[in-house]
Amino acid sequence: MARLRPLLIAYLSSRILVFAILSVGSQLQFVQKVESNTLWETRIHFQFARMAPELERLAMIGDAWWYRWIAVEGYQHRPFVREASNWAFFPLYPLAVRSLAATGRFALDAMIVSNIAFLLALLVVRDIAIRYGLDAAATDRAIFLLAFFPTAYFFSLPMSESLFLLLSATTFNAAQREKWWLAGMAGALTTLTRVTGVLLLPMLAVWIFERRLKPRISMLSLLAMPAALAGFMLYLRALTGNAFAFSDVQAGWGRHPSWFVRPLWSYLANPLLLGERWNLIAFNFVIAILVLAAGIVFLIKREWSFATYVLSAALLALSSGSLQSFARYASVLFPLFLLLGRATRKSELANALLAISATLLGVFVALFVLRVDIALA
């Protein structure tokens, strides 16, 4: 239990930070404009009867509504059109929330699922780090940096990040222990949470090759990942006539396939444009460079499996033609945090990085409360 104490501290302190700001924000009232109509007078009056409804109001934004739609009404059954639709979202997370039904209110049930999944994910990532060879201090740093990553507030919202992190980490952890049936099942569930779950298959294939593991029949269970994706595609084809509806519908959000360097070059061509609608470009650019650098470091160190996963996930996200939400996508790449935990051996560097990360986390949650679009995506 003593060894779990840093993990519990990381989890509780990061979630307290997130929910403290959300709770205060839920009770914030803009009363009237003063000072020649240039300044808002505000009031914060805690009324516990308002807490749950106001937290629901804050949490239900963006993707949360699409997941609620799937959980409550299912997928749209109509011919495919290139506009925003719930076909873009994979089914496992909304099904998990609907199965829980602890309160009967989607937002609250979803936040329960997300926060439990995040705690379990931290436990699995910790075990991965230990088996990976990190010492206790490096493992703790990796966990803290993950829990306080600037976009880690999504792990507590009605979004699929925490479930994806839990299942993807479980898939790799099962492979570390050579429990291939578990790896295949967890990988299939990961793929049914997000399409990027299928990227675990090449990572594990490289993992098997670089360790020269003897082929086993049980390794065939890893094919459950592409099978799960194929099953969802067949389901979408029956609903819409288009098996690739989950991908093609991305055009409704302004995403179009492109060369992966395009969004990076677009920012470098105009670096003073720090942000635009739903996209804090400068921050997402920095995180994209960090992830690509991590992938290159894994290549240099000949850690081919992690390099395969990190780089393929980064290139897939960048190939959408936009940097939007890249930092959010990076938050679930557990090898990134293992590398950061190992690289920050000097306490001054680790403390500075954690302080910056925690500060940005607090700022983004505050912007989320205020409904600033760049914090909602």
- pLDDT for 97 equals 97
The answer to whether the beta carbons of residues 240 and 79 sit under 8 Å apart is yes
Can you say how many angstroms the Cα of residue 143 is from the centroid of all Cα atoms in its chain?
A: 15
| Most distant CA atoms of the chain, gap in Å | 76
The answer to whether the beta carbons of residues 155 and 10 sit under 8 Å apart is no
- pLDDT for 367 equals 95
Measure the CA–CA gap between 162 and 154, rounded to whole angstroms.
8
Nearest to 263 by CA among 200, 194, 321: 321
Is residue 214 left, alpha or beta, with left meaning phi > 0 and alpha meaning psi from -120 to 50? beta
The domain ranges of the chain are: 2-375
> Tens of pLDDT along 272-285?
999 998 999 999 99
The answer to whether the beta carbons of residues 145 and 353 sit under 8 Å apart is yes
pTM recorded for the entire structure:
0.96
- pLDDT for 326 equals 97
The answer to whether the beta carbons of residues 264 and 306 sit under 8 Å apart is no
Can you say how many angstroms the Cα of residue 232 is from the centroid of all Cα atoms in its chain?
A: 21
Q: What's the average pLDDT block by block, 10 residues per block, for the chain (377 residues)?
A: 88 97 87 83 82 88 95 95 94 96 92 98 98 96 98 98 98 97 98 97 95 90 97 97 95 86 94 92 97 98 97 96 95 98 91 96 96 92
- pLDDT for 369 equals 93
